[in-house]
Amino acid sequence: MAQLEIRDLTVDFGGFRAVDGLNLNVEKGELLCLLGPNGAGKSTTLDLICGKTQPTSGKVVFDGATITNLPEFKRARHGVGRKFQIPSVFKRLTVRENLELARSQRPGVWANITRILAKPSEALEKIMETVGLTDQRHVLAENLSHGQTQWLEIAMLLSQDCKLLLMDEPTAGMTASETQRTAAILEKLHGERTIVVVEHDMQFVRKVARRITVLHQGSVLAEGSIKDIESNPEVRSAYLGH
Ligand SMILES: Nc1ncnc2c1ncn2[C@@H]1O[C@H](COP(=O)(O)OP(=O)(O)OP(=O)(O)O)[C@@H](O)[C@H]1O
């Protein structure tokens, strides 16, 4: 059974159907890229998974639990984490303090017990290493570069023990080398966490994506490997261009 199942998901915004009978399955540890032209419904799909937007109809199942109509904070308890384009880090705290705070916000009794039993410093060190911020641990978030700030936000989701990471254009505004490092971070997380990432940067997508779903007008236009997608005539005409 897939870890994330989306069935016939639909949302109407005052008569405009932004997501239209969408079906998606994402396996545990899989990294799925969502592609599609502007307005295809990619960000709205992430909103529907994390609970920022409630659907008009359809179903979202995560880890066997139906989360379709749960508020955002309850989905977070199930392990659903969303990274937005504008990061929500605490600027006046250091990298390490941001991660400690994120860790302390892990919901539930069990999370608190494991937090006490597990060696927190070891877990945080590993996370800082994964995102390449070990040397910046004592740097205030306000002094980080754009790329480092984005990686800190990814690290905060990891500290919260997110099982599913939803990322909306994580490389937006990044330099080429920051984009490459972001791809390397996602490569490291692949298999460990389930990731759904919306991206337009095709070089990045080629690097990280194992499976791609192309959305068009709120539903799935095509699915497959990067090779399948790039050679699909319908995708070329709707999105990639000839
Ligand atoms: N809250 C809302 N109210 C009304 N319309 C909305 C709302 N949110 C999104 N839309 C519309 O739904 C459509 C899908 O938007 P969405 O942001 O999901 O597209 P997208 O595929 O992420 O596009 P982009 O690549 O430009 O970010 C757009 O036409 C958008 O204007």
Q: Is 9 strand, coil or helix?
A: strand
Task: Output the residue whose Cα is nearest ligand 1's atom 11.
Answer: 18
Residues near 72 by beta carbon (within 8 Å), at least 6 away in sequence: 50, 51, 52
* CA 16 to centroid of ligand 1, rounded, Å: 10
Contact assessment for residue 17 and residue 11, using Cβ atoms and an 8 Å cutoff: yes
- Centre of ligand 1 to C-alpha 215, Å, is 12
pLDDT tens, position by position, 88-137:
899 999 999 999 998 876 655 555 555 555 556 888 999 999 999 999 99
Q: What ipTM score was computed for the predicted complex, to two decimals?
A: 0.95
Its pTM stands at 0.90
For tokens 């969502």, what's the residue? 34
Determine which residue's CA is closest to atom 18 belonging to ligand 1: 41
Distance CA 1, CA 198 (A): 23
Kindly report the CA angle at 99 between 189 and 142, in degrees rounded to 5?
105
Q: For the residues of 114-180, what is the DSSP string, one character each?
A: HHHHS-HHHHHHHHHHHHT-GGGTTSBGGGS-HHHHHHHHHHHHHHTT-SEEEEE-TTTT--HHHHH
Q: Closest residue (by CA) to atom 8 of ligand 1? A: 44
Below-70 pLDDT ranges, the chain: 85-87, 105-120, 242
How many angstroms separate the Cα of 202 from the Cα of each of 32, 35, 84, 212, 218? 14, 9, 20, 11, 21
Q: Which domains does the chain have, with CATH numbers?
A: 1-79+164-178+192-241 (3.40.50.300), 85-161 (no CATH)
Q: Does any ligand 1 atom lie closer than 6 A to the CB of residue 18? A: yes
Q: Tell me the backbone φ, ψ of residue 204, rounded to 5 degrees.
A: -65, -45
Contact 98 CB / ligand 1 (< 6 Å):
no
